[in-house]
Amino acid sequence: MEKLTDKAYWDGTYCRRKGLQSLNVDGFINYTNRLILNKLLEINLGNKSILEIGAGDSVWLPYLAKEFPSSRFVGVDYSDAGCALLSERAKQENANVRVIHEDMFVEESPLHGSFDVVISFGVVEHFDNLGHVLAAKKRFLKPDGVMFTLIPNMAGALGALTRTWSREVYDKHNPHDLDSFLRGHQHAGMEVIHGGYLGSTNFGVLSSCFPERKGLSWQMSRVLVAMSLVILWIEDKFGDLPTSKTFSPYIYAISRKT
């Protein structure tokens, strides 16, 4: 199995981050966050043991830990910098989160078979063999445990724009569509409860293409982001617009260990 990123890449990414802004789900600007939260809430998170894999600097884990104080929350990441940021964030937000520096592919771990729910946000698409990485994620689940997996939709317009504006960023992703994403879960021995495209559009996810935030392409992306904000406002006021392979920003799956 080939990794499309490495530890040095993630350490550098975390070290460049400035500030510790908390997750916000209020207002139309954060409509996509609410869509993700609503999918998470379809899993019963109360009185559960919950692990996030690839949790370096996670905004979701502290948020969920405060929302579900009866549950146990653990974050795992193989980046020292990512673990340090998550520890700092959890302390700042007074969230009860245990942070563990560990590679998800370790052969033997006391964490294996310990969790009711395992979640990840934008992790599994950074490997060329989806079934293999999901099988590694699966090892942390108890029997009948539930997995939530979210990835960016790089098979549609967002992927095409990323490939045009930053080939380096694009090449760090395996551009799955919904069909290949769900097949990867089946290859890992997971029973897919349901999955799909998430959100009608959100060009804000293209920000990773522009570390310097200048130039004509950056200005073009700002126009697309403004269009996204208008659409999010409409959805916030009147309800969800249809999802699609072409424009949806994310793909998700909820699956059960069999």
Q: How far is CA 168 from the centre of its chain?
A: 19
Residue 98 pLDDT: 97
Helices (H), the chain: 7-16, 31-41, 60-67, 80-92, 130-138, 157-165, 167-170, 178-187, 216-238
Mean pLDDT of 51-76: 96
- Note the pLDDT tens digit of each residue in 184-210: 999 999 999 999 999 999 999 898 898
Mean pLDDT of 44-72: 96
Cβ atoms of residues 151 and 251 within 8 Å: yes
Task: Determine which of 48-52, 54-58, 245-249 has the lowest per-residue pLDDT on average.
Answer: 54-58
238 Cβ contact list (under 8 Å, min separation 6): none
Whether the per-residue pLDDT at 83 is higher than 90: the answer is yes
Residues in the chain, total: 258
- Note the pLDDT tens digit of each residue in 113-159: 999 999 999 999 999 999 999 999 999 999 999 999 999 999 999 99
- Note the pLDDT tens digit of each residue in 5-39: 666 666 566 666 666 688 999 999 999 999 999 99
CA-closest candidate to residue 12, choices 51, 44, 47, 56: 56
Cβ atoms of residues 126 and 77 within 8 Å: no
Domain extent listing, the chain = 7-153+173-201+247-257
Percent of the chain with pLDDT over 70: 92
Reported as half-sphere exposure (CB side, CA atoms, 13 A), residue 69 has a value of: 3
- Note the pLDDT tens digit of each residue in 165-188: 999 999 999 999 999 999 999 999
Residue 177 pLDDT: 96
SS (H, E, C) 94-124: CCCEEEEECCCCCCCCCCCCCEEEEEEECCH
Whether the per-residue pLDDT at 84 is higher than 70: the answer is yes
CATH of 7-153+173-201+247-257, one of 2.40.10.120, 3.40.50.150, 3.40.1390.10, 1.20.120.1760: 3.40.50.150
> Average pLDDT over the chain, rounded to whole?
93
pLDDT tier at 104, thresholds 50, 70, 90: very high
